[in-house]
Amino acid sequence: MSRHRGRSLDCELKQFRLAGDVLMEAGAALELSTALAPRLFLPLACTANLAKNLAAVAASSTRAPIYRTFAKQNNLADVTAKGESVANLADVIGTVFGIVLAKANMPVVPTFLALSAGYLVASRREVDSVELPYLNRARLSFAARKFLSTGSLPSLKEGNAKEPLLPWADPTQGRIVLGSTVAEACKGPDDFATALKAFQGRQYALIYHPHNKTVYALLRQGIDGEGVLKAALDAHCILHMVDEGRGRATLEKDSFRYHRNGKNTSSVARLNRQAEAWGNNDTVMNFENHEDGFRDDFYSRVVDYVAQQGPKVYDEFKKQAKEEGWKLRLTMLNPLETRIHPVNF
């Protein structure tokens, strides 16, 4: 096993842009507070300057990728020029508007709070208007949950509009570890051997831990982007089956009516029917009293089922992604960089 050092945090474009806007307003608030605490002018002013510089870095680093999403066939320079012109015009209008407010003797704090709130709302609307055609962790989370619940992949517009931008808005946040170490994923050699056997021939292996409701993905040395996407989708399948089996699905129950029709033979429909069937047995119903039995009789079967049926689910996912305009080759899931050397993988 090798542990490569590098970027492991899932730093998403839209979240980074929003964080920069929040920092900009925080810096402005600190500048305003210097008038209320003149003795602390130097530390407050320095901190405000630092926050605004960080915000400027966030804005400049995310501007180019956002402009690129609006570009069509080598007209990025044209899009950039128009975007910068609009930004400069907004700065001039804002300056004029600020002078008018200053002469109107408006209350400082309420006015600042109102304008800051408007700025943050506008920033959120700006971010929502950007339709990125690739899947990151947030968009994959929403897309996978809808796909596994309804059998239909969201469009680019819906996927970008409904992606969870805040960590606590994503029910799968922290429940999937891509690029896990063997030590954290396996309790012993038997777990490791079982995972390798279940996912034999794949570029990855998955292990589910019931105690923290987390799927650990062991990635093989040399795994490509599509392999990481397959591992992530299989992990979402495991979480979905477990949540459905325990009656804790993350989407509305009405969405599952699609799968209860026995005539539907798609792999997603079969996956849901299987999870529901296992979830209705006595072992699951007595989960609180028979934890060990539940683990042996349900969790292991879920992982084995996903190991067998995962490729079929991915084929459906890939087909619909192409129809909806998602570019899977550009998928950015930013896995941890632990890799397993080939061992009968």
Asked whether residue 121 falls in the same domain as residue 144, the answer is no
Which parts of 54-186 are beta strand (E)? 176-178
| Distance, CA of 145 to CA of 238 (rounded, Å) | 11
User: Considering the domain boundaries, does residue 97 fall inside one?
Assistant: yes
Asked whether residue 146 falls in the same domain as residue 84, the answer is no
In eight-state DSSP terms, residue 252 is -
Asked whether residue 53 falls in the same domain as residue 72, the answer is yes
User: Could you read off the pLDDT tens digit of each residue along the chain, which spans 345 residues?
Assistant: 544 433 333 446 777 888 888 999 999 999 989 988 888 999 999 999 999 999 888 888 888 777 777 777 778 888 888 888 888 898 899 889 888 888 888 888 888 899 899 988 888 888 777 888 889 888 999 999 999 999 999 999 899 888 887 777 888 888 999 999 999 999 888 899 999 999 998 999 999 999 899 999 999 999 999 999 999 999 999 999 998 876 655 444 444 445 555 556 788 998 988 888 877 664 444 444 444 444 456 888 999 999 999 999 999 999 999 999 999 988 888 898 888 876 555
Q: What is the pLDDT of residue 296?
A: 55
Asked whether residue 18 falls in the same domain as residue 86, the answer is yes
User: φ, ψ for residue 335 (rounded to 5)?
Assistant: -70, 155
Among 98, 129, 160, give the residue marking a domain's end: 129
User: Considering the domain boundaries, does residue 323 fall inside one?
Assistant: yes
Structure tokens, 252: 């509305």
User: Considering the domain boundaries, does residue 332 fall inside one?
Assistant: yes
Asked whether residue 217 falls in the same domain as residue 324, the answer is yes
| Distance, CA of 338 to CA of 113 (rounded, Å) | 45
Asked whether residue 270 falls in the same domain as residue 321, the answer is yes
Contact yes or no for 142/340 (Cβ under 8 A): no
Asked whether residue 163 falls in the same domain as residue 94, the answer is no
Amino acid at 330: L
CA distances from 17 to 21, 97, 306 (A): 6, 25, 36
User: Considering the domain boundaries, does residue 184 fall inside one?
Assistant: yes
User: Considering the domain boundaries, does residue 105 fall inside one?
Assistant: yes
Asked whether residue 116 falls in the same domain as residue 215, the answer is no
User: Considering the domain boundaries, does residue 345 fall inside one?
Assistant: no
Among 75, 94, 129, give the residue marking a domain's end: 129
Q: Provide the β-strand partners of residue 206.
A: 217
Q: What is the pLDDT of residue 1?
A: 52
- The DSSP bridge pattern shows strands 214-219 and 338-339 to be unpaired
User: Considering the domain boundaries, does residue 223 fall inside one?
Assistant: yes
Asked whether residue 117 falls in the same domain as residue 203, the answer is no
Structure tokens, 339: 């890799």
Using alpha carbons, select from 17, 133, 156 the residue that is nearest to residue 72. 133
Q: Identify the domain containing residue 75 by its residue range.
A: 2-129
Match 């392999």 to its residue by tokens.
227
Q: Provide the β-strand partners of residue 218.
A: 205
Asked whether residue 167 falls in the same domain as residue 114, the answer is no
Asked whether residue 169 falls in the same domain as residue 102, the answer is no
Asked whether residue 77 falls in the same domain as residue 142, the answer is no
User: φ, ψ for residue 34 (rounded to 5)?
Assistant: -65, -30
| Distance, CA of 171 to CA of 270 (rounded, Å) | 23
Q: What is the pLDDT of residue 75?
A: 82
Number of domains in the chain: 2
Among 129, 145, 163, give the residue marking a domain's end: 129
- State the CB neighbour count (10 A cutoff) for residue 212: 9
User: Considering the domain boundaries, does residue 255 fall inside one?
Assistant: yes
